[in-house]
Structure 1
Amino acid sequence: MEKNWSQLQILTNPENFELVTNALIIQQITGIENLNHDRGLAIYLPSEQLTKDWCHQLQITLNQLGLTDSAYQLQIIANVNMHWGQNWAPYYQPVRISHFMSIIPSWQKDLVQSPYDILMDPQESFGSGEHATTKLCLQALEEVVNHQESLIDVGTGTGILAIAAAKLGVKTLYGYDISDEAIVVAQKNFNLNCPQEKFQVAVNSLLDNITNSAEIITANMLEEPIRALIPQLAPHLKANGHVIISGILETKIANITQLLKQEHLAIIKISAAQGWGCIIAQKERG
């Protein structure tokens, strides 16, 4: 049975778009559309998910980030025609990550120019990899990967970080996510890009009950699960292993770095873009 979808419009001035986008991502929304004439932003959700409680939580998040109630208006359009390929495909164009890596929509294969380019089949639930946190993680991977053999991607989502790692030469790849749907999407995207490689992907909450260890652990998630994950990192890292963490608001980086240091993870580099931060840390010699 086909889902009923609703559109939520956040009507506000363009100078508030970045803040509203951050609030939506905190609410775990990544497919965000600009309304015509820059009237505001819009998202699509299954009608049963777009409840008064959901909207109220979004308002709380917006207020916490500094947007007053008078600066925006929420408007719900019920029973919209939501066909992913027709509605969203025209909005996606190649995204340059570095001088030799780009994210390219899967229907634009002819634009692939580098063996490091990543084809993605964007999904309304998991985004296309365009967000600043994904770019920061990919750039961090380019810096960190240097003949390492293994990587664990926690909260794998689209699988984009595992795909990038495979293209950079990492051979043993594990991915975990709490969503059954994410696992299917991640495996599909990985097979599209790296059909000769193996990606061991499974439903799991963080690293609970996981016995694998790796030389690199990536986690592009929201602050709350990042905080829960931090005590699990060092036990799952091989000697001198690296951690790449993003999904953290730039204003919260100091708090997260302190937690990492308490777990004997030395901070190697901090980067930021569009209000979001990314941390590279390394397991201290024990």
Structure 2
Amino acid sequence: MDYLEFKIECKPEFTEILIAELAEIGFDSFLETDSGLEAYSQEDHFDREAYQEILDRYQEVAQIKVMEGKMPKVNWNEEWEKHYDPIQVGKEVYVRASFHPSKEDVKHEIVINPKMSFGTGHHATTYLMLSHLLEIDHQGKSVIDIGAGTGILAIMAHKLGAKHIEAFDIDNWCVENGNENFELNGMAGVKMGHGTIREVNPQGPFDIALANINKNVLLDEMEVYVNLLPTKGFLLLSGFYDHDIPEIQLRAESLGLNLKNQKVRDNWAALVFEKA
């Protein structure tokens, strides 16, 4: 399956905005560059009309220039090795690829070999979700990772002591990559599912539900998430900007959730709700 590749030059302040906009219309992989970003879409899922509408809307204000191409499925581990650097969340979590040396002075080490999957820890939303997870008791708990990407959040839950973990994503690349990452982190018994939450139809209950997707999907699916939680269960949400917090909070509270915590990084937000 070929991928369409878009090398986009833009003003620095529009890089994250364009990533969010393109993710909304089906682009599933991104790489930030010195001049902007590289965005990838499966050729058979590409919506040319929606893409052009976004381009027209930001063309002038963001000073966009685009070089479009096509690329076959390649060895993404090799491609990412050229750009991927380890990250650290406080003094507790170190996220690295298998080709990086281990770090002994951290509590939790996560090994991620990303392919065309979103969620390496570099993006602000993943960083924020990891930060929230560190503040929640996972011992003996059941966890579901919705739109799991590389599986990094599910892996974090495992390292924090969760006893049962389920994860799934709509993208075949993510399923393949997530399963590889689970094995790298001692989670061979966990297999990532494929599909939306309504297609996968997990049964629950889950003490902790994680969803780092985008605002529209979260608003549409939130009631499904809530129905999987027991009383006092936690729902962690990210994938939206800080100015979207009121809309997300309003929807959550209408479904019986209480906001317990929120974090913001680079204008992106992550919220923790508890089921009343």
The verdict on a shared fold, with TM-score over 0.5 as the criterion, is yes
Q: Which residue of 1 aligns with 2:192?
A: 201
**How far is 1:140 from its partner?**
0.7
Distance in 2 (CA, whole Å) between partners of 1:13 and 1:132 is: 19
Q: Which residue of 2 aligns with 1:78?
A: 69
Distance in 1 (CA, whole Å) between partners of 2:19 and 2:170 is: 23
**TM value normalised by structure 1:** 0.84
Distance in 2 (CA, whole Å) between partners of 1:231 and 1:4 is: 35
Distance in 1 (CA, whole Å) between partners of 2:196 and 2:13 is: 37
Q: Which residue of 1 aligns with 2:30?
A: 31
Would the aligned equivalents of 2:207 and 2:229 in 1 still touch at CA under 8 Å? yes
For 1:225, give the aligned amino acid: V
Q: Which residue of 1 aligns with 2:267?
A: 275
Q: Which residue of 2 aligns with 1:12?
A: 10
| Aligned positions of 1:114-133 closer than 5 A | 114-133=106-125
Equivalent of residue 232 in structure 1, options 207, 224, 244: 224
**TM value normalised by structure 2:** 0.86
The alpha-carbon distance between structure 1 residues 49 and 73, as it changes in their structure 2 partners (threshold 3 A), is: farther
**How far is 1:123 from its partner?**
1.2
The alpha-carbon distance between structure 1 residues 112 and 57, as it changes in their structure 2 partners (threshold 3 A), is: farther
How many residue pairs align between the two structures? 273
**How far is 1:258 from its partner?**
0.7
Would the aligned equivalents of 2:117 and 2:149 in 1 still touch at CA under 8 Å? no
- Gap regions ≥5 residues in structure 2: none
- Measured against aligned partners, the alpha-carbon deviations of 1:205-262 in whole angstroms (never above 9, x if no partner) come to 2155332211111111111221122112232112211110111222111011111111
Would the aligned equivalents of 2:91 and 2:107 in 1 still touch at CA under 8 Å? no
Would the aligned equivalents of 2:77 and 2:114 in 1 still touch at CA under 8 Å? no
Distance in 1 (CA, whole Å) between partners of 2:69 and 2:166 is: 39
Distance in 2 (CA, whole Å) between partners of 1:4 and 1:214 is: 37
**How far is 1:92 from its partner?**
0.5
**How far is 1:70 from its partner?**
4.8
Say which one has the larger Rg: 1
- Gap regions ≥5 residues in structure 1: none
**How far is 1:6 from its partner?**
4.5
**How far is 1:80 from its partner?**
5.6
Aligned residues: CA RMSD: 2.6
